[in-house]
Chain A
């Protein structure tokens, strides 16, 4: 499935804003992303398997918090660093 990543993560993906990953749940897709781009998952998901506070994960247009959320090849995952900051 297609994964869109905000610029925060592009140091992991050689600047590619879109990559491909596989899985039947959001958690599996994140694990696959971590295999392809080591270290990326921990910047998004903490050690208790929660999406980090200032990161948003979308399946298509729906914001999700549960890594068990099912996904299919036709879905699109988007991972964004929040717009807050300073």
Chain B
């Protein structure tokens, strides 16, 4: 397993702990149903300037900044009517150009039914040793790779043609109303061959050979129907790997908040210590950039018909600083009532400053920010369209 891996020289390949406390202004890329906006802070993260829109009218599902060159930004997009594409910026979001060959499945022989990418849902930069490599997850669930900074993409046959893919995902029929999604593409910083993916219909999977083969990694998580021993069929909403302790994984699932420490292959539910009236259902999960024990979530109402709004109309983030043993409510500055928000899985982000800045965008078009790890929140933008994604960058 990855945690016992050593280099040929016998040195530990544990990831180096990131240097503490970035400084300087933050740029937020706010992707919405109707285009992309940016919010840029001053150095103290106290004032924010809104700019946009870029690509007015285009649905922006995800944006990602390349930490390797700190200039490249990719945007997964489509319009309501037209086919999907990727836009690329190599100047930190100032200008954008469409990918020459966006993710697309191979054409199948006449008479056969082939898969079609409805949209790219998730973007992940590749391993630090592979500049220019990117990974994309699509809806319906598929995995694609680029070797040229996101300009051209090829299908990853190890997943897309895996003999068990339809079994894992349920084929072209999926429980997610707007199509099954591949997300949470994670690359082990110690080993480019070690990857994970999450799927809204299917669960969480691991590859040890650069995507050539995959195995489910879902035991301990509740599935549909509730069963902690199911191999696949789960609905992880967002899974994250800690950069300083890559054997530590956190998952916000449709059925709770979980943690796993590799090489163990079983999830432990850590959301049961959340207040019962709030529960541990939600979409996003954000990890502290340096402390593997600190995690933030933004719960939503998963009772009755699943309204997916702030529990009881009282939005709050919650933080654990001990790996999920205890949770603390963070609602300073947030509306005390009648605020029925939904925050999507890619619409909450953290920066690398000390203290960590946190940011989230709602489907009602508001962006909120905290300079102090969620203790106090400030409204920094509103009247935007339905927000899908918020990405924080330090340039």
Contact = CB atoms under 8 A, between A and B. Distances in A.
Contacts of A82: 81
Contact of A54 (B81, B102, B105, B117): B81
A47 B107 contact: yes
A43 interface: yes
Interface string B81-120: 1110100000000000011101011111000001011000
A48 B82 contact: no
B79 interface: yes
Contacts of B107: 47-49
Interface string A70-84: 000000000001101
A44 B108 CA distance: 18
Nearest to B114: A48
Interface string A33-73: 00000110011111111101011000000000000000000
B80 interface: yes
Given A46-B116, A50-B116, A55 B104 contact: no
A42 B107 CA distance: 13
Given A39-B98, A46-B116, A47-B114, A54 B80 contact: yes
B85 A39 contact: yes
A46 B113 CA distance: 13
A7 to B, nearest CB: 10
Q: Which bucket holds chain B's interface residue count?
A: 10 to 19
A44 B117 contact: no
Contact of B105 (A42, A43, A47): A47
Interface string A11-26: 0000000000000000
B198 to A, nearest CB: 24
Contacts of A84: 80-81
Contacts of B83: 42-46, 52
Contacts of A81: 79-82
Nearest to A53: B81
A85 B85 contact: no
Given A47-B107, A48-B116, A8 B100 contact: no
A48 B114 CA distance: 6
Given A38-B100, A39-B98, A39-B100, A47 B106 contact: yes
B80 A85 contact: yes
Q: Which bucket holds chain A's interface residue count?
A: 20 to 34
A81 B100 CA distance: 21
A40 to B, nearest CB: 9
A42 B79 contact: no
Interface in B61-79: 79
A43 B57 CA distance: 15
Nearest to B112: A48
A44 B82 contact: yes
B117 A47 contact: yes
The winner among B83, B85, B108 for most chain A CB atoms within 10 A is: B83
Nearest to B113: A48
Contacts of B79: 8, 43, 81
Nearest to A56: B81
Given A39-B98, A47-B116, A47-B117, A86 B82 contact: no
A21 to B, nearest CB: 18
Contacts of A44: 82-83
B81 A8 contact: yes
Contacts of B99: 39
Contacts of B80: 54, 81, 84-86
Contacts of B114: 47-48
A47 B104 contact: yes
Nearest to B116: A46
Interface of A: 8-9, 38-39, 42-50, 52, 54-55, 81-82, 84-86
Interface of B: 79-83, 85, 98-100, 102, 104-108, 114, 116-117
* Nearest 5 pairs of A and B residues by beta carbon: A81-B81, A54-B81, A43-B82, A47-B104, A46-B116
16 contacts: A8-B79, A9-B82, A39-B99, A42-B83, A42-B104, A43-B83, A44-B83, A46-B83, A49-B107, A54-B80, A55-B81, A81-B80, A81-B81, A84-B81, A85-B80, A85-B81
Given A42-B83, A48-B114, 12 more contacts: A8-B79, A8-B82, A42-B85, A44-B82, A46-B83, A47-B116, A48-B108, A52-B81, A52-B83, A55-B81, A81-B80, A81-B81
